[in-house]
Chain A
Protein backbone atom coordinates (compact mmCIF):
# COMPACT_ATOMS: atom_id res chain seq x y z
CA UNK A 1 0.00 0.00 0.00
CA UNK A 2 2.68 2.46 1.01
CA UNK A 3 4.49 1.69 -2.18
CA UNK A 4 1.38 2.47 -4.23
CA UNK A 5 0.85 5.71 -2.44
CA UNK A 6 4.39 6.89 -3.02
CA UNK A 7 4.09 6.02 -6.65
CA UNK A 8 0.85 7.93 -6.89
CA UNK A 9 1.99 10.94 -4.97
CA UNK A 10 4.85 11.24 -7.40
CA UNK A 11 2.42 11.50 -10.29
CA UNK A 12 2.18 14.72 -12.19
CA UNK A 13 -1.05 16.77 -12.53
CA UNK A 14 -4.03 14.54 -11.94
CA UNK A 15 -7.54 14.92 -13.29
CA UNK A 16 -9.87 16.33 -10.65
CA UNK A 17 -13.22 15.78 -12.28
CA UNK A 18 -14.77 12.55 -13.28
CA UNK A 19 -15.93 11.65 -16.76
CA UNK A 20 -18.14 8.68 -17.49
CA UNK A 21 -15.76 7.15 -20.04
CA UNK A 22 -13.13 6.62 -17.36
CA UNK A 23 -15.41 4.21 -15.54
CA UNK A 24 -16.50 2.32 -18.55
CA UNK A 25 -12.97 1.32 -19.38
CA UNK A 26 -12.87 -1.35 -16.73
CA UNK A 27 -15.01 -4.44 -16.76
CA UNK A 28 -18.21 -3.18 -15.20
CA UNK A 29 -19.49 -5.29 -12.34
CA UNK A 30 -23.02 -4.35 -13.27
CA UNK A 31 -24.69 -2.88 -16.32
CA UNK A 32 -23.60 0.76 -16.66
CA UNK A 33 -26.95 2.39 -17.38
CA UNK A 34 -27.13 5.82 -15.71
CA UNK A 35 -30.04 5.95 -13.28
CA UNK A 36 -29.26 9.19 -11.47
CA UNK A 37 -27.52 11.90 -13.46
CA UNK A 38 -26.07 14.75 -11.47
CA UNK A 39 -24.78 17.85 -13.24
CA UNK A 40 -22.84 20.61 -11.56
CA UNK A 41 -24.67 20.28 -8.26
CA UNK A 42 -24.03 22.79 -5.48
CA UNK A 43 -25.58 22.93 -2.00
CA UNK A 44 -25.50 25.84 0.41
CA UNK A 45 -26.87 26.48 3.90
CA UNK A 46 -27.90 30.09 4.58
CA UNK A 47 -25.72 31.23 1.69
CA UNK A 48 -22.68 29.29 2.88
CA UNK A 49 -21.59 26.80 0.28
CA UNK A 50 -20.96 23.25 1.52
CA UNK A 51 -20.79 21.37 -1.74
CA UNK A 52 -19.82 22.62 -5.18
CA UNK A 53 -19.67 21.45 -8.75
CA UNK A 54 -20.55 17.80 -8.31
CA UNK A 55 -21.20 15.92 -11.53
CA UNK A 56 -21.57 12.17 -11.74
CA UNK A 57 -23.76 9.42 -13.11
CA UNK A 58 -24.97 6.74 -10.73
CA UNK A 59 -25.60 3.46 -12.49
CA UNK A 60 -28.74 1.39 -12.30
CA UNK A 61 -28.67 -1.64 -10.06
CA UNK A 62 -25.23 -0.80 -8.72
CA UNK A 63 -24.06 0.07 -5.24
CA UNK A 64 -22.25 3.40 -5.16
CA UNK A 65 -20.34 4.32 -2.01
CA UNK A 66 -19.70 7.94 -1.03
CA UNK A 67 -16.54 8.19 1.03
CA UNK A 68 -14.58 11.04 2.54
CA UNK A 69 -14.03 12.76 5.89
CA UNK A 70 -16.91 14.14 7.99
CA UNK A 71 -18.30 17.48 6.90
CA UNK A 72 -17.35 17.24 3.27
CA UNK A 73 -20.94 17.23 2.03
CA UNK A 74 -21.65 13.53 1.49
CA UNK A 75 -24.89 13.57 3.48
CA UNK A 76 -25.92 16.88 1.88
CA UNK A 77 -25.37 15.28 -1.51
CA UNK A 78 -27.46 12.27 -0.52
CA UNK A 79 -30.29 14.47 0.76
CA UNK A 80 -30.56 16.33 -2.53
CA UNK A 81 -31.42 13.10 -4.33
CA UNK A 82 -34.79 12.78 -2.57
CA UNK A 83 -35.16 16.51 -1.90
CA UNK A 84 -34.97 15.96 1.86
CA UNK A 85 -32.96 19.18 1.71
CA UNK A 86 -36.37 20.89 1.48
CA UNK A 87 -36.83 20.16 5.17
CA UNK A 88 -33.67 21.91 6.23
CA UNK A 89 -34.22 25.65 6.77
CA UNK A 90 -31.91 27.81 4.69
CA UNK A 91 -30.79 24.95 2.47
CA UNK A 92 -30.50 25.77 -1.21
CA UNK A 93 -29.41 23.58 -4.10
CA UNK A 94 -28.33 24.44 -7.60
CA UNK A 95 -27.56 22.32 -10.60
CA UNK A 96 -29.45 19.47 -12.16
CA UNK A 97 -30.34 15.99 -11.04
CA UNK A 98 -32.18 13.65 -13.37
CA UNK A 99 -33.79 10.46 -12.14
CA UNK A 100 -35.53 8.38 -14.80
CA UNK A 101 -35.61 11.46 -16.99
CA UNK A 102 -37.40 13.70 -14.44
CA UNK A 103 -35.64 16.76 -13.09
CA UNK A 104 -35.44 16.40 -9.32
CA UNK A 105 -34.56 20.06 -8.80
CA UNK A 106 -37.76 21.23 -10.53
CA UNK A 107 -39.79 23.12 -7.90
CA UNK A 108 -43.03 21.82 -9.44
CA UNK A 109 -41.97 18.20 -9.03
CA UNK A 110 -44.26 15.92 -6.98
CA UNK A 111 -41.86 15.48 -4.07
CA UNK A 112 -43.98 12.81 -2.37
CA UNK A 113 -43.91 10.64 -5.49
CA UNK A 114 -40.16 11.18 -5.79
CA UNK A 115 -39.57 10.12 -2.19
CA UNK A 116 -41.69 7.05 -2.68
CA UNK A 117 -39.42 6.07 -5.56
CA UNK A 118 -36.21 7.07 -3.75
CA UNK A 119 -36.15 5.48 -0.29
CA UNK A 120 -33.80 6.62 2.43
CA UNK A 121 -32.19 4.89 5.40
CA UNK A 122 -30.71 7.02 8.15
CA UNK A 123 -27.64 6.73 10.31
CA UNK A 124 -29.66 6.22 13.48
CA UNK A 125 -32.44 3.64 13.05
CA UNK A 126 -35.70 5.61 13.16
CA UNK A 127 -38.69 3.28 13.31
CA UNK A 128 -41.83 5.14 14.37
CA UNK A 129 -43.17 4.57 17.89
CA UNK A 130 -45.76 2.20 16.44
CA UNK A 131 -45.98 -1.57 16.24
CA UNK A 132 -43.69 -3.47 13.87
CA UNK A 133 -46.60 -4.07 11.50
CA UNK A 134 -47.91 -0.48 11.63
CA UNK A 135 -44.45 0.86 10.78
CA UNK A 136 -44.73 -0.76 7.35
CA UNK A 137 -48.51 -0.63 6.99
CA UNK A 138 -49.01 3.07 7.75
CA UNK A 139 -46.90 4.41 4.84
CA UNK A 140 -48.54 1.85 2.51
CA UNK A 141 -52.01 3.05 3.53
CA UNK A 142 -50.96 6.66 3.15
CA UNK A 143 -49.88 5.85 -0.40
CA UNK A 144 -53.31 4.50 -1.19
CA UNK A 145 -53.08 0.76 -0.53
CA UNK A 146 -56.16 -0.19 1.48
CA UNK A 147 -56.84 -3.85 0.83
CA UNK A 148 -56.06 -5.84 3.96
CA UNK A 149 -54.68 -8.91 2.20
CA UNK A 150 -52.49 -6.85 -0.13
CA UNK A 151 -51.05 -4.96 2.83
CA UNK A 152 -50.38 -8.13 4.81
CA UNK A 153 -48.64 -9.64 1.80
CA UNK A 154 -46.44 -6.57 1.32
CA UNK A 155 -45.57 -6.45 5.02
CA UNK A 156 -44.52 -10.08 4.97
CA UNK A 157 -42.54 -9.72 1.74
CA UNK A 158 -40.70 -6.64 2.99
CA UNK A 159 -39.84 -8.34 6.28
CA UNK A 160 -38.68 -11.47 4.44
CA UNK A 161 -36.53 -9.33 2.14
CA UNK A 162 -34.59 -8.00 5.10
CA UNK A 163 -34.46 -11.36 6.89
CA UNK A 164 -36.61 -10.14 9.76
CA UNK A 165 -39.73 -12.22 9.14
CA UNK A 166 -38.65 -15.31 11.08
CA UNK A 167 -37.54 -13.13 14.00
CA UNK A 168 -40.73 -11.10 14.35
CA UNK A 169 -43.57 -13.09 12.73
CA UNK A 170 -45.02 -13.96 16.15
CA UNK A 171 -44.90 -10.43 17.48
CA UNK A 172 -45.88 -8.15 14.63
CA UNK A 173 -47.96 -6.07 17.01
CA UNK A 174 -45.11 -5.56 19.47
CA UNK A 175 -43.55 -2.08 19.61
CA UNK A 176 -40.89 -1.51 16.97
CA UNK A 177 -38.81 0.41 19.50
CA UNK A 178 -38.43 -2.77 21.58
CA UNK A 179 -36.39 -4.36 18.78
CA UNK A 180 -32.58 -4.36 18.91
CA UNK A 181 -30.67 -1.68 17.01
CA UNK A 182 -29.82 -3.98 14.12
CA UNK A 183 -33.40 -5.24 13.88
CA UNK A 184 -34.68 -1.65 13.95
CA UNK A 185 -32.40 -0.72 11.07
CA UNK A 186 -33.56 -3.74 9.07
CA UNK A 187 -37.18 -2.77 9.82
CA UNK A 188 -36.43 0.70 8.45
CA UNK A 189 -35.04 -0.89 5.30
CA UNK A 190 -38.14 -3.12 5.08
CA UNK A 191 -40.36 -0.06 5.53
CA UNK A 192 -38.61 1.62 2.61
CA UNK A 193 -38.66 -1.53 0.44
CA UNK A 194 -42.40 -2.03 1.02
CA UNK A 195 -43.07 1.10 -1.02
CA UNK A 196 -41.25 -0.59 -3.94
CA UNK A 197 -38.68 2.13 -4.60
CA UNK A 198 -36.12 1.84 -7.37
CA UNK A 199 -33.40 3.75 -5.52
CA UNK A 200 -32.24 3.44 -1.90
CA UNK A 201 -30.16 6.13 -0.23
CA UNK A 202 -28.28 5.02 2.87
CA UNK A 203 -26.59 7.44 5.22
CA UNK A 204 -24.04 5.42 7.22
CA UNK A 205 -26.61 2.69 7.89
CA UNK A 206 -24.25 0.59 10.01
CA UNK A 207 -22.42 3.18 12.05
CA UNK A 208 -24.80 3.05 15.03
CA UNK A 209 -24.82 -0.75 15.14
CA UNK A 210 -22.65 -3.31 16.90
CA UNK A 211 -20.26 -5.34 14.68
CA UNK A 212 -22.54 -8.37 14.39
CA UNK A 213 -25.67 -6.35 13.55
CA UNK A 214 -23.53 -4.30 11.20
CA UNK A 215 -22.40 -7.42 9.37
CA UNK A 216 -26.01 -8.58 8.99
CA UNK A 217 -27.10 -5.22 7.54
CA UNK A 218 -24.06 -5.16 5.27
CA UNK A 219 -24.91 -8.59 3.92
CA UNK A 220 -28.45 -7.34 3.31
CA UNK A 221 -27.12 -4.36 1.36
CA UNK A 222 -25.14 -6.77 -0.83
CA UNK A 223 -28.34 -8.61 -1.64
CA UNK A 224 -30.03 -5.36 -2.74
CA UNK A 225 -27.60 -5.13 -5.64
CA UNK A 226 -29.14 -5.46 -9.10
CA UNK A 227 -32.66 -5.05 -7.70
CA UNK A 228 -32.13 -1.51 -6.48
CA UNK A 229 -29.80 1.34 -7.21
CA UNK A 230 -28.07 1.93 -3.88
CA UNK A 231 -26.15 5.04 -2.87
CA UNK A 232 -24.44 4.58 0.49
CA UNK A 233 -22.45 7.00 2.61
CA UNK A 234 -19.93 5.18 4.73
CA UNK A 235 -16.91 5.99 6.85
CA UNK A 236 -15.95 2.38 6.89
CA UNK A 237 -13.58 2.05 3.95
CA UNK A 238 -13.38 -1.71 4.27
CA UNK A 239 -17.16 -1.83 4.04
CA UNK A 240 -17.19 0.43 0.97
CA UNK A 241 -14.66 -1.86 -0.61
CA UNK A 242 -16.68 -4.96 0.20
CA UNK A 243 -20.11 -3.79 -0.92
CA UNK A 244 -19.72 -1.11 -3.56
CA UNK A 245 -19.37 -1.32 -7.32
CA UNK A 246 -18.54 2.36 -7.63
CA UNK A 247 -17.05 4.79 -5.19
CA UNK A 248 -17.06 8.57 -5.04
CA UNK A 249 -14.46 10.34 -2.93
CA UNK A 250 -15.41 13.72 -1.46
CA UNK A 251 -12.96 16.11 0.12
CA UNK A 252 -13.14 19.56 1.60
CA UNK A 253 -11.09 22.21 -0.17
CA UNK A 254 -11.29 25.79 1.08
CA UNK A 255 -14.20 24.87 3.38
CA UNK A 256 -16.29 23.60 0.50
CA UNK A 257 -16.96 19.94 -0.24
CA UNK A 258 -15.99 18.72 -3.68
CA UNK A 259 -16.10 15.46 -5.56
CA UNK A 260 -12.46 14.57 -6.05
CA UNK A 261 -12.67 11.24 -7.73
CA UNK A 262 -15.35 8.88 -8.92
CA UNK A 263 -14.84 5.50 -10.45
CA UNK A 264 -15.13 1.78 -10.12
CA UNK A 265 -14.66 0.90 -6.51
CA UNK A 266 -11.76 -1.42 -7.08
CA UNK A 267 -9.79 1.01 -9.20
CA UNK A 268 -10.48 3.89 -6.81
CA UNK A 269 -9.03 1.88 -3.95
CA UNK A 270 -6.24 0.05 -5.77
CA UNK A 271 -5.09 2.64 -8.25
CA UNK A 272 -6.57 6.03 -7.38
CA UNK A 273 -5.88 8.71 -9.92
CA UNK A 274 -5.77 11.58 -7.45
CA UNK A 275 -3.18 11.91 -4.70
CA UNK A 276 -5.81 13.02 -2.13
CA UNK A 277 -7.76 9.83 -2.78
CA UNK A 278 -4.62 7.78 -2.51
CA UNK A 279 -3.72 9.42 0.77
CA UNK A 280 -7.24 8.98 2.17
CA UNK A 281 -7.76 5.35 1.22
CA UNK A 282 -4.37 4.38 2.59
CA UNK A 283 -5.09 6.18 5.83
CA UNK A 284 -2.53 8.98 5.65
CA UNK A 285 -4.99 11.81 6.12
CA UNK A 286 -8.66 12.43 6.78
Chain B
Protein backbone atom coordinates (compact mmCIF):
# COMPACT_ATOMS: atom_id res chain seq x y z
CA UNK B 1 0.00 0.00 0.00
CA UNK B 2 2.53 2.55 1.13
CA UNK B 3 4.70 2.48 -1.93
CA UNK B 4 5.47 6.13 -1.85
CA UNK B 5 8.19 6.66 0.81
CA UNK B 6 6.98 10.19 1.37
CA UNK B 7 3.64 8.90 2.58
CA UNK B 8 5.27 6.79 5.26
CA UNK B 9 7.42 9.67 6.47
CA UNK B 10 4.40 11.96 6.44
CA UNK B 11 2.48 9.45 8.52
CA UNK B 12 5.32 9.15 11.03
CA UNK B 13 5.61 12.90 11.20
CA UNK B 14 1.89 13.30 11.81
CA UNK B 15 1.94 10.72 14.60
CA UNK B 16 4.98 12.30 16.26
CA UNK B 17 3.52 15.79 16.17
CA UNK B 18 0.16 14.67 17.54
CA UNK B 19 1.82 12.59 20.22
CA UNK B 20 4.00 15.49 21.40
CA UNK B 21 1.05 17.84 21.53
CA UNK B 22 -1.09 15.31 23.38
CA UNK B 23 1.70 14.70 25.90
CA UNK B 24 1.98 18.40 26.74
CA UNK B 25 -1.76 18.93 26.99
CA UNK B 26 -2.12 15.67 28.94
CA UNK B 27 0.50 16.67 31.50
CA UNK B 28 -1.21 20.01 32.01
CA UNK B 29 -4.63 18.44 32.48
CA UNK B 30 -3.24 15.82 34.84
CA UNK B 31 -1.77 18.56 37.01
CA UNK B 32 -4.95 20.61 36.81
CA UNK B 33 -7.32 17.73 37.59
CA UNK B 34 -5.11 16.57 40.47
CA UNK B 35 -5.25 20.07 41.91
CA UNK B 36 -8.98 20.33 41.34
CA UNK B 37 -9.74 16.92 42.86
CA UNK B 38 -7.77 17.57 46.02
CA UNK B 39 -8.39 21.27 46.35
CA UNK B 40 -12.03 21.76 45.42
CA UNK B 41 -13.30 20.38 48.72
CA UNK B 42 -11.41 23.07 50.54
CA UNK B 43 -12.76 25.92 48.43
CA UNK B 44 -15.73 28.05 49.29
CA UNK B 45 -16.52 31.73 49.61
CA UNK B 46 -15.68 32.03 53.29
CA UNK B 47 -12.30 30.45 52.64
CA UNK B 48 -11.51 33.24 50.15
CA UNK B 49 -12.31 36.01 52.62
CA UNK B 50 -11.42 34.64 56.05
CA UNK B 51 -8.03 34.64 57.76
CA UNK B 52 -5.91 31.49 58.09
CA UNK B 53 -6.03 29.69 61.42
CA UNK B 54 -3.88 27.04 63.02
CA UNK B 55 -0.87 27.88 60.76
CA UNK B 56 -3.06 27.64 57.70
CA UNK B 57 -4.48 24.16 58.31
CA UNK B 58 -7.88 25.75 58.93
CA UNK B 59 -9.47 29.03 58.06
CA UNK B 60 -9.06 30.79 54.75
CA UNK B 61 -6.62 32.76 52.62
CA UNK B 62 -8.23 36.22 52.61
CA UNK B 63 -5.23 38.27 53.84
CA UNK B 64 -2.92 36.23 51.62
CA UNK B 65 -4.96 36.99 48.51
CA UNK B 66 -4.93 40.68 49.40
CA UNK B 67 -1.14 40.65 49.96
CA UNK B 68 -0.60 38.79 46.69
CA UNK B 69 -2.64 41.29 44.71
CA UNK B 70 -0.94 44.25 46.42
CA UNK B 71 2.53 42.86 45.71
CA UNK B 72 1.56 42.24 42.09
CA UNK B 73 0.03 45.71 41.84
CA UNK B 74 3.21 47.38 43.10
CA UNK B 75 5.28 45.28 40.69
CA UNK B 76 3.07 46.13 37.70
CA UNK B 77 3.01 49.83 38.56
CA UNK B 78 6.79 49.83 38.37
CA UNK B 79 7.17 47.42 35.46
CA UNK B 80 4.75 48.85 32.90
CA UNK B 81 5.93 52.49 32.67
CA UNK B 82 9.62 51.70 33.19
CA UNK B 83 9.48 48.75 30.82
CA UNK B 84 7.62 50.61 28.06
CA UNK B 85 10.05 53.51 28.36
CA UNK B 86 13.11 51.31 28.13
CA UNK B 87 11.70 49.27 25.25
CA UNK B 88 10.87 52.43 23.30
CA UNK B 89 14.36 53.76 23.99
CA UNK B 90 15.95 50.53 22.77
CA UNK B 91 13.89 50.18 19.62
CA UNK B 92 13.43 53.80 18.54
CA UNK B 93 16.19 55.95 19.92
CA UNK B 94 19.42 54.10 20.33
CA UNK B 95 21.40 51.62 18.34
CA UNK B 96 24.74 52.35 19.97
CA UNK B 97 26.93 50.80 22.62
CA UNK B 98 24.59 51.80 25.46
CA UNK B 99 21.68 49.96 23.86
CA UNK B 100 23.82 46.88 23.25
CA UNK B 101 24.94 46.80 26.87
CA UNK B 102 21.36 47.30 28.11
CA UNK B 103 20.18 44.39 25.96
CA UNK B 104 22.98 42.18 27.19
CA UNK B 105 22.30 42.99 30.85
CA UNK B 106 18.60 42.31 30.36
CA UNK B 107 19.25 38.93 28.78
CA UNK B 108 21.53 37.97 31.64
CA UNK B 109 19.06 39.28 34.23
CA UNK B 110 16.22 37.27 32.68
CA UNK B 111 18.16 34.10 33.43
CA UNK B 112 19.29 34.95 36.96
CA UNK B 113 17.80 32.55 39.57
CA UNK B 114 15.06 34.11 41.65
CA UNK B 115 16.88 33.42 44.93
CA UNK B 116 19.55 35.89 43.77
CA UNK B 117 16.87 38.51 43.16
CA UNK B 118 15.53 37.75 46.64
CA UNK B 119 18.89 38.38 48.29
CA UNK B 120 19.44 41.48 46.14
CA UNK B 121 15.96 42.81 47.01
CA UNK B 122 16.56 42.10 50.65
CA UNK B 123 19.85 43.97 50.63
CA UNK B 124 18.63 46.92 48.52
CA UNK B 125 15.00 47.49 49.45
CA UNK B 126 14.65 45.93 52.91
CA UNK B 127 17.95 47.00 54.44
CA UNK B 128 19.62 49.76 52.43
CA UNK B 129 16.44 51.69 51.58
CA UNK B 130 14.98 50.79 54.97
CA UNK B 131 11.70 49.43 53.64
CA UNK B 132 12.01 46.30 55.79
CA UNK B 133 10.05 43.13 55.11
CA UNK B 134 7.12 44.73 53.31
CA UNK B 135 4.75 44.46 50.39
CA UNK B 136 6.61 47.38 48.84
CA UNK B 137 9.96 45.56 49.04
CA UNK B 138 8.39 42.41 47.58
CA UNK B 139 6.69 44.27 44.73
CA UNK B 140 9.83 46.18 43.83
CA UNK B 141 11.89 42.97 43.84
CA UNK B 142 9.33 41.31 41.59
CA UNK B 143 9.48 44.33 39.28
CA UNK B 144 13.23 43.75 38.91
CA UNK B 145 12.47 40.19 37.83
CA UNK B 146 9.63 41.11 35.47
CA UNK B 147 11.36 44.01 33.73
CA UNK B 148 13.83 41.98 31.60
CA UNK B 149 11.05 39.77 30.18
CA UNK B 150 8.66 42.64 29.63
CA UNK B 151 11.23 44.96 28.04
CA UNK B 152 12.64 42.39 25.66
CA UNK B 153 9.27 41.22 24.36
CA UNK B 154 7.97 44.79 23.99
CA UNK B 155 11.14 45.79 22.18
CA UNK B 156 10.85 42.80 19.86
CA UNK B 157 7.25 43.78 19.13
CA UNK B 158 8.19 47.38 18.35
CA UNK B 159 11.12 46.35 16.16
CA UNK B 160 8.85 44.01 14.22
CA UNK B 161 6.50 46.88 13.32
CA UNK B 162 6.98 47.67 9.65
CA UNK B 163 9.62 50.31 8.91
CA UNK B 164 7.27 51.62 6.21
CA UNK B 165 4.97 52.97 8.90
CA UNK B 166 7.86 54.62 10.69
CA UNK B 167 9.03 56.28 7.48
CA UNK B 168 5.47 57.08 6.46
CA UNK B 169 4.84 58.83 9.77
CA UNK B 170 8.10 60.78 9.56
CA UNK B 171 7.38 61.79 5.95
CA UNK B 172 4.07 63.31 7.11
CA UNK B 173 5.96 65.51 9.54
CA UNK B 174 4.64 63.62 12.58
CA UNK B 175 6.65 63.81 15.77
CA UNK B 176 8.23 60.62 17.03
CA UNK B 177 5.84 60.72 19.98
CA UNK B 178 2.82 60.88 17.67
CA UNK B 179 4.13 58.01 15.55
CA UNK B 180 4.66 55.93 18.69
CA UNK B 181 1.30 56.75 20.23
CA UNK B 182 -0.91 56.45 17.16
CA UNK B 183 0.81 53.74 15.16
CA UNK B 184 3.81 51.91 16.61
CA UNK B 185 2.64 51.04 20.15
CA UNK B 186 -0.86 49.96 19.03
CA UNK B 187 0.67 47.84 16.27
CA UNK B 188 3.01 46.24 18.83
CA UNK B 189 0.15 45.57 21.28
CA UNK B 190 0.06 41.77 20.86
CA UNK B 191 3.75 41.51 21.78
CA UNK B 192 3.30 43.90 24.71
CA UNK B 193 0.39 41.83 26.02
CA UNK B 194 2.35 38.60 25.65
CA UNK B 195 5.28 40.10 27.54
CA UNK B 196 2.97 41.34 30.27
CA UNK B 197 1.41 37.88 30.68
CA UNK B 198 4.78 36.16 30.90
CA UNK B 199 5.87 38.70 33.52
CA UNK B 200 2.70 38.28 35.55
CA UNK B 201 3.12 34.52 35.38
CA UNK B 202 6.66 34.81 36.67
CA UNK B 203 5.57 37.16 39.44
CA UNK B 204 2.65 35.06 40.68
CA UNK B 205 4.76 31.90 40.70
CA UNK B 206 7.57 33.56 42.61
CA UNK B 207 8.38 32.21 46.05
CA UNK B 208 12.09 32.41 46.78
CA UNK B 209 12.44 36.12 46.08
CA UNK B 210 9.43 36.97 48.22
CA UNK B 211 10.46 35.02 51.29
CA UNK B 212 13.38 37.44 51.66
CA UNK B 213 11.49 40.62 50.84
CA UNK B 214 7.79 40.61 51.63
CA UNK B 215 8.06 38.00 54.32
CA UNK B 216 5.83 35.39 55.98
CA UNK B 217 3.29 37.36 57.97
CA UNK B 218 -0.21 36.09 57.20
CA UNK B 219 -2.18 38.90 58.83
CA UNK B 220 -4.24 41.30 56.75
CA UNK B 221 -1.82 44.10 55.70
CA UNK B 222 -2.71 47.62 56.82
CA UNK B 223 -0.45 49.38 54.35
CA UNK B 224 2.21 48.73 51.72
CA UNK B 225 4.90 48.91 54.39
CA UNK B 226 3.42 45.89 56.20
CA UNK B 227 4.82 42.46 55.62
CA UNK B 228 2.50 40.27 53.57
CA UNK B 229 2.52 36.61 52.62
CA UNK B 230 2.05 35.84 48.92
CA UNK B 231 0.02 32.82 47.78
CA UNK B 232 3.06 31.00 46.46
CA UNK B 233 4.87 31.49 49.79
CA UNK B 234 1.74 30.23 51.58
CA UNK B 235 1.65 27.09 49.43
CA UNK B 236 5.34 26.48 50.03
CA UNK B 237 4.91 26.93 53.77
CA UNK B 238 1.86 24.65 53.98
CA UNK B 239 3.41 21.84 52.03
CA UNK B 240 6.93 21.99 53.48
CA UNK B 241 6.63 23.29 57.04
CA UNK B 242 3.12 22.52 58.26
CA UNK B 243 2.23 18.92 58.92
CA UNK B 244 -1.33 18.25 57.86
CA UNK B 245 -1.34 21.32 55.67
CA UNK B 246 -1.47 19.51 52.32
CA UNK B 247 -5.21 19.85 51.87
CA UNK B 248 -5.00 23.62 52.35
CA UNK B 249 -1.97 23.78 50.04
CA UNK B 250 -4.02 22.11 47.28
CA UNK B 251 -6.80 24.63 47.77
CA UNK B 252 -4.40 27.57 47.69
CA UNK B 253 -2.68 26.21 44.56
CA UNK B 254 -6.02 25.90 42.79
CA UNK B 255 -6.82 29.51 43.70
CA UNK B 256 -3.40 30.58 42.35
CA UNK B 257 -4.04 28.90 38.99
CA UNK B 258 -7.50 30.45 38.70
CA UNK B 259 -6.07 33.83 39.71
CA UNK B 260 -3.42 33.55 36.99
CA UNK B 261 -6.02 32.80 34.34
CA UNK B 262 -8.26 35.67 35.50
CA UNK B 263 -5.44 38.22 35.70
CA UNK B 264 -4.10 37.21 32.29
CA UNK B 265 -7.52 37.70 30.77
CA UNK B 266 -7.94 41.08 32.42
CA UNK B 267 -4.48 42.16 31.23
CA UNK B 268 -5.24 40.99 27.69
CA UNK B 269 -8.54 42.82 27.53
CA UNK B 270 -7.03 45.99 29.00
CA UNK B 271 -4.21 45.93 26.45
CA UNK B 272 -6.78 45.32 23.75
CA UNK B 273 -8.91 48.21 24.96
CA UNK B 274 -6.10 50.73 25.27
CA UNK B 275 -3.91 49.69 22.34
CA UNK B 276 -5.33 47.28 19.79
CA UNK B 277 -8.74 48.90 19.51
CA UNK B 278 -7.14 52.11 18.39
CA UNK B 279 -5.98 50.38 15.24
CA UNK B 280 -7.98 48.47 12.66
CA UNK B 281 -6.14 45.97 10.60
CA UNK B 282 -8.71 43.96 8.72
* Given A89-B95, A139-B174, A195-B172; A129-B281 close (CB under 8 Å): yes
Q: How far is the CA of A91 from the CA of B253 in the complex (A)?
A: 56
Interface segment among B27-35, B108-116, B163-171: the answer is B163-171
Interface residues of A (CB under 8 A from B): 82, 84, 87, 89, 111-116, 119-120, 122, 124, 126-131, 138-139, 142-143, 174-178, 188, 191-192, 195
Residues of chain A within 8 A (CB-CB) of B173 are 111-116, 139, 142-143, 195
* Given A115-B171, A139-B174; A129-B164 close (CB under 8 Å): no
Q: How far is the CA of A174 from the CA of B174 in the complex (A)?
A: 23
* Given A128-B182, A142-B178; A175-B167 close (CB under 8 Å): no
From B95, B165, B168, B171, name the one whose CB has the most chain A CB atoms within 10 angstroms: B171
* Given A82-B171, A191-B172; A128-B95 close (CB under 8 Å): no
B157 to chain A, nearest CB (A): 14
Q: How far is the CA of A138 from the CA of B173 in the complex (A)?
A: 11
Q: Is the CB of B167 within 8 A of A128?
A: no
Query: Does B187 touch A at the CB level, under 8 Å?
Result: yes
Beta-carbon contacts under 8 Å, B83-133 to A: 95
Residues of chain A within 8 A (CB-CB) of B241 are none
Q: How far is the CA of A138 from the CA of B165 in the complex (A)?
A: 14
Residues of chain B within 8 A (CB-CB) of A82 are 171
B55 to chain A, nearest CB (A): 55
* Given A130-B279, A142-B178, A175-B282; A120-B164 close (CB under 8 Å): no
A-B contact pairs, 18 of them (CB 8 A): A84-B167, A84-B170, A87-B170, A89-B95, A114-B173, A116-B173, A119-B172, A122-B164, A122-B167, A122-B168, A126-B165, A128-B165, A130-B183, A138-B178, A142-B172, A175-B281, A192-B172, A195-B172
Q: How far is the CA of A143 from the CA of B169 in the complex (A)?
A: 12
Query: Does B148 touch A at the CB level, under 8 Å?
Result: no
B190 to chain A, nearest CB (A): 12
With A82-B171, A127-B168, A178-B282 already in contact, 16 other A-B pairs whose C-beta atoms are closer than 8 Å = A84-B171, A112-B173, A115-B171, A116-B173, A120-B171, A122-B164, A126-B165, A126-B167, A126-B168, A128-B183, A138-B182, A139-B172, A142-B172, A174-B280, A175-B281, A177-B280
From B162, B172, B175, B282, name the one whose CB has the most chain A CB atoms within 10 angstroms: B172
B167, B174, B280: the one within 8 Å of A87 (CB): B167
Give the tally of cross-chain contacts (CB within 8 A): 80
Query: Does B251 touch A at the CB level, under 8 Å?
Result: no
Q: Is the CB of A115 within 8 A of B170?
A: yes
Residues of chain A within 8 A (CB-CB) of B282 are 175, 177-178
Query: Does B39 touch A at the CB level, under 8 Å?
Result: no
Q: How far is the CA of A195 from the CA of B164 in the complex (A)?
A: 19
* Given A122-B164, A124-B164, A142-B178; A130-B280 close (CB under 8 Å): yes
Q: How far is the CA of A37 from the CA of B162 in the complex (A)?
A: 33
A96 to chain B, nearest CB (A): 22
Q: Is the CB of B171 within 8 A of A129?
A: no
Residues of chain A within 8 A (CB-CB) of B167 are 84, 87, 122, 126
B181 to chain A, nearest CB (A): 10
Residues of chain B within 8 A (CB-CB) of A113 are 173
Q: How far is the CA of A102 from the CA of B182 in the complex (A)?
A: 30
Q: Is the CB of A129 within 8 A of B183?
A: yes
**Closest residue of chain A to B178, judged by CB?**
A142
Q: How far is the CA of A128 from the CA of B170 in the complex (A)?
A: 12
B247 to chain A, nearest CB (A): 51
Query: Does B186 touch A at the CB level, under 8 Å?
Result: yes
Q: Is the CB of B175 within 8 A of A112?
A: yes
Q: Is the CB of A130 within 8 A of B182?
A: yes
Residues of chain A within 8 A (CB-CB) of B168 are 122, 126-128, 188
A33 to chain B, nearest CB (A): 24
**Closest residue of chain A to B174, judged by CB?**
A142
A158 to chain B, nearest CB (A): 12
**Closest residue of chain B to A112, judged by CB?**
B173
A7 to chain B, nearest CB (A): 43
Q: Is the CB of A142 within 8 A of B95?
A: no
From B95, B175, B280, name the one whose CB has the most chain A CB atoms within 10 angstroms: B280
**Closest residue of chain A to B95, judged by CB?**
A89
